[in-house]
Amino acid sequence: MSNNQGDMVIDEDVMRRCVGHVLPGVEDFSGLDTRFDEIGLDSMLLAELIVQLEEETDGMLDLHVTGRLETLRDLMLSLRPLREAE
């Protein structure tokens, strides 16, 4: 899985693992089109999820939102390595 810049940043397995860490018990969410509110992902948990993704990818991430940010797929497509934003 790649983001909209073509960079390999986060794949579905990584996302699933990180969501499971932040929200124990919801590892079996239906997929990347799961909406944040379906799994109780508020802004603080979203921030924590990004921290987890940074740990998994061993880098800093930045959020480039150009449209909706409602699903895990939206999040995945909006995240880029921080160095690209600088």
Partner 1 sequence: MTRYLIESGCYWDWSEVSRRTEELAADARHGDERFLTVTPASGFDVVVALVAGFTLECELVIQPPPPYHSQLPDRSVGPGVWIYTSGTTGSPKSVHWPWRRLFPLKHNEVGDIKRWGIGYAPASFAGVSAICQALSSSASVEFLTPAWPSTRTDRHPLTIAVGTPTFWRMACVHAFRGYKEPAKIDVISMGGEPVDDTLLSAVRNTFHPHRIKQIFGATELGAGIHIDDERGGLPLDAAGQRQSSGAAFDVLADRLLLSPSVGLPYVETGDFVEIVGDRVFVTGRRGLSINVGGTKVSPQAVERVLQEHPSVLAARAYAWRSPVVGSVVAADVVLVPGKTEDCRRDLRAFAEAHLAPAELPRRIRIVEEFVSSAAGKVLRS
Contact residues: partner 1, CB under 8 A: 42-44, 46-48, 50-51, 55, 60-63
Helical H segments across the chain, by residue range: 12-22, 43-57, 72-78, 82-85
The answer to whether residues 13 and 20 touch, using CB atoms and an 8 Å cutoff, is no
| Angle in degrees, 0-180, between the axes of helices 12-22 and 43-57, rounded to the nearest 10 | 130
Q: Residue 71 forms beta bridges with which residues?
A: 35
Nearer of residues 1 and 63 to partner 1, judged by Cβ: 63
Toward partner 1, which CB reaches closer, 27 or 30? Answer: 27
Q: Nearest distance from residue 79's CB to partner 1, in Å?
A: 8
The nearest distance, CB 46 to partner 1, in angstroms, is 5
Shortest separation between residue 36's beta carbon and partner 1, angstroms: 11
